Structure 1
Amino acid sequence: MFYSRMANEKGRGATRNETSGRFHLPVREADGDWLDALPAIDGPAPRRRTSVTVEQARRIITRNNSPDIGFSQSINAYRGCEHGCIYCFARPTHAYHDLSPGLDFETRLFAKPDAAKLLRAELSRSNYAVAPIAMGTNTDPYQPIEKDWRITRQCLEVLAECRHPVFITTKSNRILRDIDLLADMARDRLVSVAISVTSLDPAVARTLEPRAPHPLRRIEAIRQLAEAGIPILASLSPIIPAITDHEIEAIVERVSQAGAREASYIPIRLPHEVAPLFRAWLDVHYPDRAAKVMSIIRDMRGGRDNDPNFTTRMRGQGVWADLIRARFVKARKRAGFTGDRLMVRTDLFRPPEGPQMRLFQILEEQER
């Protein structure tokens, strides 16, 4: 098994970094226990640095037909996420690349710099069917490396040009950099943004989402986006029993005051390799209640660490799930939220223009 460091590494979420072999890829093994002895021999290991590898994608729009997901198209400009949220359900995707869903997911990132060009080409296809595109469904489109790579910005520029609808999910106030594009699209009801606020407690956020912006910065982002006329949904996902569930009412009230138009939540999910990573995180940060947290999670997930079934995976089941749902509904009603979905228009779409796009169309016709 790949080296597993159980002591928490400053600024990172996962406390371990091992491969699972779930995709039958070669499992890397340490030679005896010499890696575990390195700190005693050479002193503390150097802080793990973030690396970014260019990924040469052939297409950028991913499609799904899951019945409990409210979109059919998505764009993910990056693989892996430096925010390091311990609960991230995208962590297992790194296992497919023979990388660890643990620290590798947070430090060995992949970027798709041709995303905007690929998007322009796909939107130019004569058989393209317009449907809202979701950004941030796998990894955060505004994680720290977006500052330099600007791939999300470039994709938004294409979507704005084509008047194409988009949903954005992020837990970063870096989205404010693109408020000009978003405000323009919002005037035509072409965009809605979901800002994730899982805790208002900085101490909790530092361990839960170590490289994500401070909770108050996210609240301020909601305020500024709302003032610019951009419809905002505040996401409390995930709600973690005995860790963040006591904040439900306070978070709903705070995001309402900031200008969010709606709020939503999902009880914590622990698919595949996320479950052992989360357990290890509990042992380091919340050893006093680790057993209680997992007991409640299993109660909400039909006796398992995770419920993979459509619909129930997003809601949970049992007494604890019902209690969280009742509290959330009451808090949302008190805050004035109505439960209405933030809809976007699809009737304003116009394909990209210009000689380059005509060339793409000619090549497509020749392929037929």
Structure 2
Amino acid sequence: MPLKSTAGNHGAPAKGRGAASNPEGRFENWERGSVDDGWVQDPEEEPVKPKTIVTIERAKSVISRNDSPDVGLTQSLNPYRGCSNGCPYCFARPSHAYLGLSPGLDFETRLFAKTNAAEIFREEISKPGYRCEPLAIGVNTDAYQTIEREYRITRSVLEVCYETNHPVSLITKCAMIERDLDLLAPMARNNLVHATLSVTTLDHGIARYMEPRASAPARRILAIERLSKAGIPVGVNVAPVIPFLTDSELESILEAAKNAGAKSAGYILMRLPWEVKDIFREWLQVHFPLKADHVMSRVHQMRNGKDNDPRFGSRMKGEGLFAELLKQRFDKAYARLGFEDTAYEPLDTTKFVPPSRNGQASLF
């Protein structure tokens, strides 16, 4: 797939962005390309910084159902399409192709905000046939990415959950989750919320390129500590594990999170579906060229000789010798550090009170 470079003459992506190119989506019938017509910028100039463009989306539905055996959830809600965190490995990048946009830089800069998400969510859980099950927020794209400060869509959905006693689980790489402690703490006392912080690396030198607009690793560990002290059950997800680049940090991430108060832990091996494989390969060549071949070689050894393995049962953990060694390392660290399989009670669905049609929750 041709890659349209967004890097400047210095051969690196624009500061604060992960992808260095804007490849066409897999559904496009035409390609864009760059041609030097002689009207070039000064070689010493800094590359132009791409701006974030937010489009308001009026959603018709917001609850997504899931029956994948690899994912421990049945329904989810994503307040935003696209994600400014800029992670080059993000498995959700290919979804931008359905919008006629690039899974590359467009995914980080052409964002869509579902500003009526709370309103539609209220309508959907008001229906007589609705069956209350825990709602996962932020599965595809980060619910606490930068634009949440302005749009507060995640906050508005949580307010509906708080009002109706609807159980919810949150997944994020951003410390902004602390903003909502006033809602999450009382919900936690009623066993209505779990939170998970994803930590890929503790090395700021890697994170600044790999997750340029997510919270710094140390800040995420601090968020775990603050959530835990507020009484919110919080866990850590070492995700994704990138072979030969971050896999050596598995134990140290688990230990840091446990010391901060994490009660549960998990890990996910990096996935490279569709366009992501090209975006990630280019990112490796730009930032870690001496490790690029080693990383992809190890990926192939854990993915049945391919860049990606979409099969249920292996896509999250991989297979082969190195995948088994990774699992053994995780299991031993998990036990040594005192994580427990029963750390969380199942979220309570019995307290749910459907909102009435006029927007007020029933008192009886």
**Scaled by the length of structure 1, what TM-score is found?**
0.92
How many residue pairs get matched?
355
User: How big is the shift at 1:36?
Assistant: 9.9
Contact residue 52 and residue 110 of structure 1 kept, 8 A: yes
User: How big is the shift at 1:243?
Assistant: 0.8
| Matched residue type, 1:18 | P
Aligned pair 1:9/2:14, yes or no?
A: yes
User: How big is the shift at 1:38?
Assistant: 3.6
| Matched residue type, 2:172 | T
Contact residue 175 and residue 219 of structure 2 kept, 8 A: yes
Structure 2, gaps ≥5 residues long: none
Task: Specify the alignment match of 1:349 in structure 2.
Answer: 352
User: How big is the shift at 1:68?
Assistant: 1.5
CA distance in 1 between partners of 2:196 and 2:46 (Å): 40
Q: Please give the secondary structure, in 1, of the residue aligned with 2:64.
A: strand
CA distance in 2 between partners of 1:333 and 1:37 (Å): 61
Change (3 A) 1:276 1:36: farther
| Matched residue type, 1:350 | V
User: How big is the shift at 1:45?
Assistant: 4.0
| Matched residue type, 1:125 | K
Q: Please give the secondary structure, in 1, of the residue aligned with 2:226.
A: helix
Q: Which runs of structure 2 are paired with 1:30-45 in the superposition (5 Å)?
A: 30=33, 33-34=35-36, 38-40=40-42, 43-45=45-47
Identity score, percent: 48
User: How big is the shift at 1:148?
Assistant: 0.6
Structure with the larger helix share: 1
More deviation in 348-357 or 35-44? Answer: 35-44
Aligned pair 1:325/2:330, yes or no?
A: no
1:29 to 7, 28, 32: 32
Task: Specify the alignment match of 1:118 in structure 2.
Answer: 120
The root-mean-square deviation of aligned C-alpha atoms, in Å, is 1.8
1:312 to 314, 338, 344: 314
Q: Please give the secondary structure, in 2, of the residue aligned with 1:287.
A: coil
Contact residue 126 and residue 357 of structure 2 kept, 8 A: no
Q: Which runs of structure 2 are paired with 1:167-316 in the superposition (5 Å)?
A: 167-316=169-318
| Matched residue type, 1:347 | T
**Scaled by the length of structure 2, what TM-score is found?**
0.93
User: How big is the shift at 1:29?
Assistant: 2.2
User: How big is the shift at 1:162?
Assistant: 0.7
| Matched residue type, 2:211 | E
Change (3 A) 1:188 1:76: same
Change (3 A) 1:339 1:110: same
Contact residue 124 and residue 357 of structure 1 kept, 8 A: no
2:90 to 81, 88, 91: 88
User: How big is the shift at 1:44?
Assistant: 4.3
Contact residue 162 and residue 350 of structure 1 kept, 8 A: yes
Contact residue 263 and residue 343 of structure 2 kept, 8 A: no
Q: Please give the secondary structure, in 1, of the residue aligned with 2:76.
A: strand
| Matched residue type, 1:280 | E
Q: Please give the secondary structure, in 2, of the residue aligned with 1:34.
A: coil
User: How big is the shift at 1:33?
Assistant: 1.5
CA distance in 2 between partners of 1:196 and 1:174 (Å): 13
User: How big is the shift at 1:333?
Assistant: 1.0
CA distance in 2 between partners of 1:205 and 1:17 (Å): 21
Change (3 A) 1:261 1:36: farther
| Matched residue type, 2:76 | S
| Matched residue type, 2:184 | L
Change (3 A) 1:27 1:42: farther
User: How big is the shift at 1:42?
Assistant: 10
CA distance in 2 between partners of 1:118 and 1:35 (Å): 50
CA distance in 2 between partners of 1:27 and 1:334 (Å): 54
| Matched residue type, 2:192 | L
Structure 1, gaps ≥5 residues long: 359-368
Aligned pair 1:19/2:24, yes or no?
A: yes
| Matched residue type, 1:311 | G
| Matched residue type, 1:97 | L
Contact residue 2 and residue 27 of structure 1 kept, 8 A: no
CA distance in 2 between partners of 1:35 and 1:354 (Å): 61
